[in-house]
Amino acid sequence: MTTEIWAPGEAPPEALEWGPVRLDRWRPDDLDDQYAAVDVSREHLGGFMPWSHGYERAGAEWFLGDSARSWADRTAFNYRVSDPTVGPDRVLGSAGLMSRRGPGTLEIGYWVRSDAVRRGLARRASAALTQAGFALPGVEEITICHDPLNEASGGIPAQLGYTRLPDLVPGPPGREDERHVCWSLRKEAWSPVRG
Protein backbone atom coordinates (compact mmCIF):
# COMPACT_ATOMS: atom_id res chain seq x y z
CA MET A 1 0.00 0.00 0.00
CA THR A 2 1.35 3.40 -0.91
CA THR A 3 2.04 6.22 1.53
CA GLU A 4 2.29 8.87 -1.19
CA ILE A 5 0.88 12.18 -0.01
CA TRP A 6 -2.17 13.26 -1.97
CA ALA A 7 -5.01 15.64 -1.24
CA PRO A 8 -8.31 16.26 -3.01
CA GLY A 9 -8.70 19.67 -4.62
CA GLU A 10 -11.18 20.88 -2.01
CA ALA A 11 -12.55 20.00 1.43
CA PRO A 12 -15.94 18.41 2.09
CA PRO A 13 -18.65 20.36 3.94
CA GLU A 14 -17.92 21.05 7.61
CA ALA A 15 -21.27 19.52 8.62
CA LEU A 16 -22.89 16.37 7.21
CA GLU A 17 -26.13 14.55 8.02
CA TRP A 18 -27.38 11.07 7.28
CA GLY A 19 -30.75 10.33 8.82
CA PRO A 20 -30.58 11.40 12.45
CA VAL A 21 -26.78 11.23 12.57
CA ARG A 22 -24.88 14.50 12.35
CA LEU A 23 -21.18 14.96 11.67
CA ASP A 24 -19.53 18.28 12.52
CA ARG A 25 -15.93 19.24 11.93
CA TRP A 26 -13.92 18.91 15.17
CA ARG A 27 -13.12 22.30 16.76
CA PRO A 28 -10.68 23.25 19.55
CA ASP A 29 -13.61 23.96 21.89
CA ASP A 30 -14.65 20.28 21.57
CA LEU A 31 -11.74 19.30 23.87
CA ASP A 32 -13.80 18.30 26.92
CA ASP A 33 -16.37 16.38 24.86
CA GLN A 34 -13.74 14.57 22.79
CA TYR A 35 -11.71 13.57 25.83
CA ALA A 36 -14.82 12.43 27.76
CA ALA A 37 -16.01 10.25 24.85
CA VAL A 38 -12.66 8.45 24.66
CA ASP A 39 -12.25 8.27 28.45
CA VAL A 40 -15.58 6.48 28.98
CA SER A 41 -14.74 4.09 26.10
CA ARG A 42 -11.15 3.06 26.91
CA GLU A 43 -11.93 -0.61 27.47
CA HIS A 44 -14.19 -0.78 24.40
CA LEU A 45 -11.69 0.97 22.11
CA GLY A 46 -8.54 -0.56 23.56
CA GLY A 47 -8.76 -3.85 21.71
CA PHE A 48 -8.63 -2.22 18.29
CA MET A 49 -7.42 1.36 18.78
CA PRO A 50 -3.99 1.31 20.48
CA TRP A 51 -3.94 5.10 20.75
CA SER A 52 -6.72 4.91 23.36
CA HIS A 53 -4.41 3.27 25.94
CA GLY A 54 -3.21 5.92 28.35
CA TYR A 55 -5.19 8.62 26.51
CA GLU A 56 -4.88 11.95 28.32
CA ARG A 57 -6.24 15.45 27.78
CA ALA A 58 -2.95 16.26 26.03
CA GLY A 59 -3.80 13.55 23.49
CA ALA A 60 -7.18 15.14 22.88
CA GLU A 61 -5.51 18.55 22.44
CA TRP A 62 -3.04 17.04 19.96
CA PHE A 63 -5.85 15.30 18.04
CA LEU A 64 -7.89 18.49 17.71
CA GLY A 65 -4.82 20.49 16.64
CA ASP A 66 -3.82 17.82 14.13
CA SER A 67 -7.40 17.72 12.84
CA ALA A 68 -7.25 21.47 12.14
CA ARG A 69 -3.86 21.17 10.39
CA SER A 70 -4.97 18.16 8.34
CA TRP A 71 -8.18 19.90 7.31
CA ALA A 72 -6.19 22.95 6.18
CA ASP A 73 -3.85 20.85 4.02
CA ARG A 74 -6.74 18.58 2.93
CA THR A 75 -5.11 15.31 4.02
CA ALA A 76 -7.78 14.38 6.60
CA PHE A 77 -11.27 15.56 7.45
CA ASN A 78 -12.27 14.56 10.98
CA TYR A 79 -15.76 14.94 12.42
CA ARG A 80 -17.46 14.56 15.76
CA VAL A 81 -20.51 12.26 15.54
CA SER A 82 -23.78 13.09 17.28
CA ASP A 83 -27.41 12.08 17.09
CA PRO A 84 -30.14 14.47 18.30
CA THR A 85 -32.31 11.52 19.33
CA VAL A 86 -29.62 10.55 21.86
CA GLY A 87 -28.61 14.08 22.88
CA PRO A 88 -28.06 17.04 20.56
CA ASP A 89 -24.62 18.04 21.82
CA ARG A 90 -23.33 14.71 23.06
CA VAL A 91 -20.27 13.34 21.24
CA LEU A 92 -21.01 9.73 20.34
CA GLY A 93 -17.84 9.07 18.38
CA SER A 94 -15.55 10.28 15.66
CA ALA A 95 -15.36 9.63 11.93
CA GLY A 96 -13.23 10.95 9.15
CA LEU A 97 -11.85 10.79 5.64
CA MET A 98 -8.08 10.38 5.24
CA SER A 99 -5.94 10.59 2.11
CA ARG A 100 -3.29 8.14 3.31
CA ARG A 101 -3.96 5.38 0.74
CA GLY A 102 -2.65 7.25 -2.31
CA PRO A 103 -3.89 9.40 -5.19
CA GLY A 104 -7.62 9.32 -5.89
CA THR A 105 -8.37 7.29 -2.74
CA LEU A 106 -9.79 8.31 0.61
CA GLU A 107 -10.02 6.03 3.65
CA ILE A 108 -12.83 6.21 6.18
CA GLY A 109 -12.05 5.70 9.84
CA TYR A 110 -14.47 5.76 12.77
CA TRP A 111 -15.04 4.85 16.38
CA VAL A 112 -18.17 4.95 18.53
CA ARG A 113 -18.24 5.49 22.28
CA SER A 114 -19.01 2.36 24.30
CA ASP A 115 -22.47 3.42 25.49
CA ALA A 116 -23.65 4.19 21.93
CA VAL A 117 -22.65 1.07 19.97
CA ARG A 118 -25.09 -0.99 17.90
CA ARG A 119 -27.29 1.97 16.99
CA GLY A 120 -26.18 2.37 13.37
CA LEU A 121 -24.03 5.43 14.09
CA ALA A 122 -20.86 4.18 12.37
CA ARG A 123 -22.85 2.92 9.36
CA ARG A 124 -24.68 6.23 8.92
CA ALA A 125 -21.51 8.25 9.49
CA SER A 126 -19.70 6.10 6.92
CA ALA A 127 -22.54 6.57 4.42
CA ALA A 128 -22.38 10.34 4.88
CA LEU A 129 -18.60 10.29 4.46
CA THR A 130 -18.82 8.08 1.38
CA GLN A 131 -21.28 10.49 -0.22
CA ALA A 132 -19.16 13.54 0.72
CA GLY A 133 -15.93 11.85 -0.36
CA PHE A 134 -17.18 10.96 -3.82
CA ALA A 135 -18.38 14.54 -4.28
CA LEU A 136 -14.77 15.77 -4.03
CA PRO A 137 -12.79 16.28 -7.24
CA GLY A 138 -10.37 13.50 -8.04
CA VAL A 139 -11.77 10.92 -5.62
CA GLU A 140 -12.44 7.64 -7.42
CA GLU A 141 -12.19 5.11 -4.57
CA ILE A 142 -12.99 5.02 -0.86
CA THR A 143 -11.74 2.34 1.51
CA ILE A 144 -12.58 1.20 5.02
CA CYS A 145 -9.90 -0.83 6.82
CA HIS A 146 -10.10 -2.51 10.22
CA ASP A 147 -8.47 -5.03 12.52
CA PRO A 148 -9.30 -8.59 11.35
CA LEU A 149 -10.65 -9.41 14.83
CA ASN A 150 -13.12 -6.51 14.73
CA GLU A 151 -15.93 -8.34 12.97
CA ALA A 152 -18.55 -5.74 13.90
CA SER A 153 -16.56 -3.10 12.04
CA GLY A 154 -16.52 -5.32 8.94
CA GLY A 155 -20.31 -5.34 8.82
CA ILE A 156 -20.42 -1.62 8.07
CA PRO A 157 -18.68 -1.56 4.67
CA ALA A 158 -20.48 -4.75 3.68
CA GLN A 159 -23.86 -3.08 4.32
CA LEU A 160 -22.82 -0.05 2.26
CA GLY A 161 -21.82 -2.06 -0.82
CA TYR A 162 -18.04 -2.06 -0.36
CA THR A 163 -16.10 -5.10 -1.60
CA ARG A 164 -13.68 -6.88 0.71
CA LEU A 165 -10.18 -7.07 -0.74
CA PRO A 166 -8.73 -10.61 -0.83
CA ASP A 167 -5.45 -9.74 0.91
CA LEU A 168 -4.71 -8.04 4.20
CA VAL A 169 -3.12 -4.58 3.89
CA PRO A 170 -0.56 -2.77 6.08
CA GLY A 171 -1.99 -0.85 9.02
CA PRO A 172 -2.10 2.95 9.17
CA PRO A 173 1.04 5.11 9.39
CA GLY A 174 3.08 4.19 12.43
CA ARG A 175 1.47 0.73 12.55
CA GLU A 176 2.45 -0.61 9.12
CA ASP A 177 3.59 -3.91 10.67
CA GLU A 178 -0.05 -4.71 11.46
CA ARG A 179 -2.26 -6.32 8.85
CA HIS A 180 -5.82 -5.09 8.35
CA VAL A 181 -8.87 -6.17 6.41
CA CYS A 182 -9.67 -3.56 3.77
CA TRP A 183 -12.87 -2.90 1.86
CA SER A 184 -13.05 -0.84 -1.32
CA LEU A 185 -15.77 1.01 -3.18
CA ARG A 186 -15.36 2.65 -6.58
CA LYS A 187 -17.25 5.87 -7.28
CA GLU A 188 -19.35 4.37 -10.07
CA ALA A 189 -20.55 1.58 -7.74
CA TRP A 190 -21.79 3.86 -4.92
CA SER A 191 -25.52 3.81 -4.28
CA PRO A 192 -26.65 6.23 -1.55
CA VAL A 193 -29.78 4.13 -1.02
CA ARG A 194 -27.64 1.59 0.85
CA GLY A 195 -26.75 4.09 3.59
> Given this model, what pLDDT does residue 46 score?
54
Q: Which residues on adjacent β-strands are paired with residue 183?
A: 144, 164
Can you list the domains of the chain with their CATH numbers? 15-194 (3.40.630.30)
d(CA 47, CA 155): 17
Per-residue pLDDT of the chain (195 residues; tens, 9 = 90+): 445 678 888 999 999 999 988 999 989 887 788 777 766 665 665 566 555 557 677 777 888 888 999 999 999 999 998 888 776 678 888 899 999 888 999 999 987 876 666 777 889 999 999 999 999 999 999 999 888 877 778 889 999 999 999 887 776 666 667 677 899 999 999 988 655
> Given this model, what pLDDT does residue 51 score?
55
> Given this model, what pLDDT does residue 1 score?
44
> Given this model, what pLDDT does residue 2 score?
45
Task: Estimate to the nearest angstrom the gap between the alpha carbon of 88 and the chain centroid.
Answer: 20
Give the amino acid at 66: D
d(CA 101, CA 142): 9
d(CA 28, CA 26): 7
In order, the DSSP letters of 103-144 are TTEEEEEEEE-GGGTTSSHHHHHHHHHHHHHHTSTT--EEEE
Residues 95-128, buried b or exposed e (16+ Cβ, 10 A)? bbbbbbbbeebbbbbbbbbeebbebbbbbbbbbb
d(CA 157, CA 164): 8
* CB-based burial label for 50 (10 Å; 0-12, 13-18, 19+): middle
> Given this model, what pLDDT does residue 128 score?
96
